[in-house]
């Protein structure tokens, strides 16, 4: 039976430098669990296996198949009726999860407002709404079979697909986390950065879906 609360799902690849800070930032009075999918990275696995946290569960994949595939693996393992998709290099704002479910209210999903920072500087003041970090009812994300098995941009496709199928979304009013800018992130690394041919190809596919008003759930 699914319980009332939040399952925080974290995809972790080459995250050994950041994962401890990420996990330690997740503190809430709301019933919760933290599910980490380690994407074929032994260094990261060694770090998380050394943690003692009664709310933490670790799942290892022998091969790196990408963050979206890892989140898809974790979604059916969620014990609670809400899922928060989170990144291993970001930092949760203290207290955000305490009121996240009440802020979601009658909506089906909520994208989380964030503030950027980097390892070499303090917060740069840039506040934006992240497609990649989403609080969503577990039954909803299960009903659409999670993410497309893309290497990048699948979070944007999911948002539009949810709206296409009539699910109600919103953006959080409060800042929920600090978004870390670094060279190894999906939006800045070579093969999947914002100007990569792969990302541009996915964006073209999304534009075609919008024009044709045709979205299909992954199999």
| Confidence category of residue 187, pLDDT binned at 50, 70, 90 | low
Q: In this model, does residue 46 exceed pLDDT 70?
A: yes
Contact of 115 with 179, CB cutoff 8 Å: yes
Angle at 52 between CA 17 and CA 41, to 5 degrees: 40
| Confidence category of residue 181, pLDDT binned at 50, 70, 90 | confident
Query: 3-212 adopts what CATH topology?
Result: Spore Coat Polysaccharide Biosynthesis Protein SpsA; Chain A (3.90.550)
Please tell me the predicted confidence (pLDDT) of residue 34: 97
What is residue 166's three-state secondary structure? coil
Question: How are strands ordered across the β-sheet holding 127-137?
Answer: 56-61, 32-39, 3-12, 80-87, 127-137, 109-118, 169-181, 91-92
- State pLDDT tens for residues 69-125: 999 999 999 999 999 999 999 999 999 999 999 999 999 999 999 998 887 665 567
| Confidence category of residue 186, pLDDT binned at 50, 70, 90 | low
How far apart, in whole angstroms, are the C-alpha atoms of residue 42 and residue 156? 29
How far apart, in whole angstroms, are the C-alpha atoms of residue 74 and residue 58? 10
How many Cα atoms within 13 Å fall on the side-chain side of residue 115?
A: 11
- Percent of the chain at pLDDT exceeding 90: 75
- Percent of the chain at pLDDT exceeding 70: 93
What is residue 7's three-state secondary structure? strand
Q: What would the mean pLDDT of 61-74 be, rounded to a whole number?
A: 94
Please tell me the predicted confidence (pLDDT) of residue 52: 86
Please tell me the predicted confidence (pLDDT) of residue 87: 95
Tokens of 114: 């964030």
- State pLDDT tens for residues 133-148: 999 999 999 999 999 9
Q: In this model, does residue 219 exceed pLDDT 90?
A: no
Contact of 83 with 135, CB cutoff 8 Å: yes
Closest CA to 197 of 152, 159, 158: 152
């Amino acid at each position: 039976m699914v319980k009332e609360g939040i399952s925080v799902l974290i995809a972790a690849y080459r995250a050994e430098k950041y994962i401890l800070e990420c996990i330690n930032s997740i503190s809430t009075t709301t019933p919760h669990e933290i599910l980490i999918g380690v994407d074929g990275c032994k260094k990261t696995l060694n770090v998380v296996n050394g943690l003692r946290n009664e709310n933490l569960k670790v799942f290892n994949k022998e091969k790196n198949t990408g963050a979206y595939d890892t989140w898809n693996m974790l979604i059916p393992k969620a014990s609670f009726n809400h899922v928060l998709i989170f990144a291993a290099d970001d930092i949760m704002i203290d207290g955000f999860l305490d009121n996240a479910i009440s802020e979601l209210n009658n909506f089906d999903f909520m994208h989380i407002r964030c503030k950027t920072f980097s390892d070499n500087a303090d917060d740069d003041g840039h506040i934006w709404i992240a497609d990649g970090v989403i609080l969503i009812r577990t039954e909803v994300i299960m009903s659409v079979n999670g993410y497309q098995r893309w290497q990048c941009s699948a979070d944007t496709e999911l948002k539009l697909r949810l709206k296409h199928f009539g699910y109600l979304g919103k953006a959080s009013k409060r800042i929920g986390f600090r978004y870390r800018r670094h060279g190894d992130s999906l939006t800045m690394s070579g093969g999947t950065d914002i100007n990569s041919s792969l990302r541009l190809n996915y964006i073209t596919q999304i534009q075609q879906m919008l024009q044709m008003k045709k979205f299909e759930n992954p199999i």
